[in-house]
A and B are shown apart, each in its own frame.
Chain A
């Protein structure tokens, strides 16, 4: 079945540091890939997405590129802020006819940014 593997956390950075959170996946066909973010005490919200190979999703300074050859969708940000402290989830949605938009999630990576 489909699976998503994220780098283990927690990740602790100083403000303005560079961020990378690795994500690799296993899936049949051509899934859509997502990064969701969960701020303390809140639900998940979409951070960015990519629906086909070589697509780059971007939002709020975060970027991720859909790499089919390496089955990866790594999240990057050039300069993190304290307000980026949250839990980040990589997820995929099988685009097959019976997927119905169901999401398969990675285990989540806790990011803490210090001033």
Chain B
């Protein structure tokens, strides 16, 4: 049971570089999410998607873009990385409403 898979698990970027984080889920969930986790702040929602071809902004969207070309995949892009984007990024999926979300194992990103 793969569940939610994120790649890569670790990455170090230089300021100004770009990268894409990949998320794949095999549970046929409609909804997918990207969160970032920072010490003392819990998890905060960056962007989310309510279905293939849709995206929407969350609480902290600035500096990030997303795409959901296929139902099972949700990509998070950083066009020009900044040190403030050093964080642990989690992808999640759910069937929405009152159901639980399933999380990937996270990507630890360091921007130097």
Q: How many residues of B contact A (CB 8 A)?
A: 27
Given the complex of chains A and B, what is the CA–CA distance between A42 and B88 in angstroms? 11
Label chain B's interface by main secondary structure.
Answer: loop
A27 interfacial contact with B, CB 8 Å? no
Task: Collect the chain A residues with CB atoms within 8 Å of residue B106's CB.
Answer: 42-43
Task: Collect the chain B residues with CB atoms within 8 Å of residue A58's CB.
Answer: none
Q: How many residues of A contact B (CB 8 A)?
A: 24
Would you call B103 and A44 a contact (CB within 8 A)?
A: yes
Stretch at the interface among B39-47, B64-72, B77-85: B39-47
The contact sample of 27 A-B pairs, CB cut-off 8 A, is A34-B100, A41-B105, A42-B105, A42-B106, A43-B4, A43-B104, A43-B106, A44-B43, A44-B90, A49-B100, A89-B42, A89-B43, A93-B97, A100-B50, A101-B94, A101-B95, A101-B97, A101-B101, A102-B33, A102-B58, A103-B33, A103-B45, A103-B92, A103-B101, A106-B42, A107-B40, A107-B42
Chain A residues with CB under 8 Å of chain B are 4, 32, 34, 36, 41-46, 49, 51, 89, 93, 95, 99-103, 105-108
